[in-house]
Structure 1
Amino acid sequence: MVKTLALTTGMLLSASVMAANFKMSVGDGEGSAQQVMGQKFAELLAEKTDNKHTAKLFLNGLLGSEQDTVNAASIGTLDFSVLASNNLAPFSPTVGMLSLPYIFENLDQAAKTVQGPVGTELTENTLRDAGVRILGWTFSGFRVLSNSKKPVTQLSDLKGMVIRVPKNEIMIDTYKSWGINPTPLAWTETFTALQQRVVDGQDTPYTTIYSMKFGEVQQYITDLHYLFLLEPLIVSEAVFQDQNKKTQQAMLEAGKEATAYSLDWLQEKEGQIKKELVSKYGMELNTLNDEAAWAEAAQKEVWPKFYDSVGGKDKINALLKSLGRNEI
């Protein structure tokens, strides 16, 4: 009787490890690049495990702030999270390299970086530092500046404006290099702060502005190119190690394929989303006539402060060289 009970219990425990309905936290809302990435990964994981493993998405930060989800995944109380790289950087500082202003000039450079040796190294560092594993990358686009006050077409237009930024030192210092003191604010508080005019503006990609319905509380967009937003899909390493080899391989493959899908999706949808922000909300899109000045100020004042934390000046030069850019 005891042996039978033990055998039955063991079989149940084995089954619980083999089949699971995972929880995935997603900071942004329906239709965002994050949601598209998470949903595609969930579909691929189910497909590759014969529907033994599924993942339910919890949108709009329902399971906590993006930084909170890193903590939860680290201790194994959350399975997956899709979050901005700047919110992973406090736990694994070398990821901050991706947030250096104007480190990427275009989508191709961003994609080449995270899908190549640098991406592999960042994955290893994050596993070591935070106890979470990067399975894939979401390509969300350049963070553009939106506001409810006036068109911004040159650096001097920022004067007197109150801009929300994430609680990230690199991004805070970037705005300081442009002559203003930004307001660090939790993502979950951002829409209300914009709506109540506590802050005038914020910066996120077009895809996020659309999915979060910022057009309801913002009128102007400036096509800024200081930060290409890369958003990793992470899995708790404790959860990953609980899986058998076949499931682990399925997770790795699903992450890689979902990354490629995210890249294609952004290239296909971003232009359409920009048009809808104009047609649906009446937003005004502006371009900068002096972005070289923005880049010069940010790179000169911000980059040197963070050389050590992101891995050293040599690491940055190696990345720049791999992208065909001049070293510093």
Structure 2
Amino acid sequence: MKKIKIKSLTFGCLVACAMSMNVTAAQFKIALGGNEGSGQYALSTKFVQELEARTDDTAKLFLNSQLGSEQNTVNDAAIGALDFSVVAINNITPFSPTVGVLTLPYMIQTLDEAAKITQGEVGEQLINNTIRDAGVRIVAWGYSGFRVLSNSKRPVKTLDDLQGLVIRVPKNEIMIDTYRSWGINPTPMAWASLFTALQQKVVDGQDLSLIDIKTSKFDEVQSYLSDIHYNFLVEPMIMSESVFQEQTPEVQNAIIESGKMATAHSLEFLKREEALAKAELIKRGMEFDEVDESEWIERATTAVWPKYYESVGGVDKINSILRLLNRPEVN
């Protein structure tokens, strides 16, 4: 009997240990709007690799808006129904308006400026603001490049060429008002509906990074690319703040460190892949046109910036960023 008792206790310990391991090891869900090969995918796969190397936790990616539109996933993360999501910064703005400073037309004019803003004091403030306002924490910054304009009808080299085209934009007021400043009324539409809308000629064009245009095969439904630079596509990975606070200090630190590694990887990915994407799209038959943006810049900054001074944190906040970038301040 004694021998049987020892075996019973040993088996019980094994079961208890196994149950404990199952409880402590998390299986996180990460939502992406993008597909394999996109900037979002590069950021996410690096994050998962680093997190799984540092913890017993695992994470699964859900691509192509499987878990809902980007704005819906922000809301789901805010209420703790989703662990992580990678979204364009403009889709966080309705929940935390100060991040809209990154969407102001021509605010970010180079990759270096994007990195300097997001990885410094300004970035830390925006992280804190999204926690406060939206209940989500930015744990990594993704960089996907400038949103170039594509369309199926004609080359666009001037604002006159743009007139009459039906252009899709995300559901973001700053981006909508930017196109209005250029003389057209754009069509707000969720990302998941865009390819079909282009294919069926519901809209003539859209703007997106070169990498995303390539991986999404927009060359199949678009013929012309215009090299505009009004919006640098910053795509952070967000995490539900309530889920973050449920983790041990060790896991929290692992998440933060994994995010830093993913951020650095995203920078290198963009530097390596953007020019390759451009060359591939031209090879596939798309026409690529340079644009003199002088008038585009003048109209957008004059009409749009003042309208959003208050919501993005005030003129002083904007000027602090402009000083950081060694650019002229605004009044």
Q: Same fold (TM over 0.5)?
A: yes
Q: 1:19 aligns with which of 25, 35, 39?
A: 25
Aligned partner (choices 258, 263, 282) of residue 278 of structure 1: 282
Matches within 5 A, 1:221-236: 221-236=225-240
Match of 2:156 among 152, 155, 162: 152
Query: Structure 1 CA distance, aligned partners of 2:263 and 2:157?
Result: 33
TM-aligned CA deviation for residue 173 of structure 1: 0.2
Q: Does 1:241 align with 2:245?
A: yes
For 2:18 and 2:121, how far apart are their aligned partners in 1? Answer: 41
Shift of 1:77: 1.1
Give the alignment of 1:34-113 within 5 angstroms: 34-49=40-55, 52-113=56-117
Q: Distance in 2 between matches of 1:65 and 1:326?
A: 37
1:205 alignment partner in structure 2: 209
Q: Distance in 1 between matches of 2:23 and 2:213?
A: 39
Q: Distance in 1 between matches of 2:214 and 2:289?
A: 17
Q: Provide the C-alpha distance between the structure 1 equivalents of 2:62 and 2:43, rounded to a whole number of angstroms.
A: 13
Q: Does 1:319 align with 2:321?
A: yes
> How far off is 1:212 after superposition?
1.1
Alignment CA distance shift 1:125-1:16 (3 Å): farther
- Return the offset for 1:18: 2.3
Tell me if the contact between 1:18 and 1:244 (Cα under 8 Å) persists in the aligned partners. no
- Residues 17 and 243, structure 1, Cα contact 8 Å, conserved in 2: no
Whether the aligned pair in 2 keeps the contact of 1:101 and 1:174 (CA below 8 Å) is yes
Show the counterpart of 1:189.
193
Say yes or no: does 1:173 pair with 2:177. yes
How far 1:30 sits from its partner (Å)?
1.0
TM-score, normalization by structure 1 = 0.94
CA distance in structure 1 between the partners assigned to 2:23 and 2:77 by the alignment: 17
Could you tell me how far apart the structure 1 residues matched to 2:203 and 2:47 are? 35
Tell me if structure 2 keeps the 8 A contact 1:17–1:242: no
Q: Percent identity?
A: 58
CA displacement, residues 277-319 of structure 1 (integer Å, 9 cap, x when unaligned): 111x21111111x301100000000000000000001100000
Length-normalised TM-score, structure 2: 0.93
**Aligned residue for 1:292?**
294
**Deviation per CA, 1:88-144, whole angstroms, max 9, x where unpaired?**
010000000000000011110111000000000000000001111100100000000
CA distance in 2, matches of 1:146, 1:118: 31
* One-letter identity of the residue aligned with 1:119: G
The change in CA–CA distance for 1:60 and 1:162 in structure 2 (over 3 A counts) is: same
The structure 2 residue matched to 1:308, chosen from 298, 310, 315, is 310
How far apart are residue 275 of structure 1 and its match?
0.6
Q: 1:48 to 1:89 in 2, by over 3 A?
A: same
Aligned length: 318
Q: Are residues 1:253 and 2:241 paired?
A: no
Counterpart residue number, 1:3: none
Distance 1:243 1:277, change over 3 A: same
Q: Deviations over 1:251-291 (max 9, x none)?
A: 00000110001001100111011111111x21111111x30
Structure number, greater radius of gyration: 2
Q: In the superposition, relative to structure 1, how do residues 10 and 81 fare at CA in structure 2: closer, same or farther (>3 Å)? A: farther
- Structure 2 alignment gaps of length 5 or more: 1-12
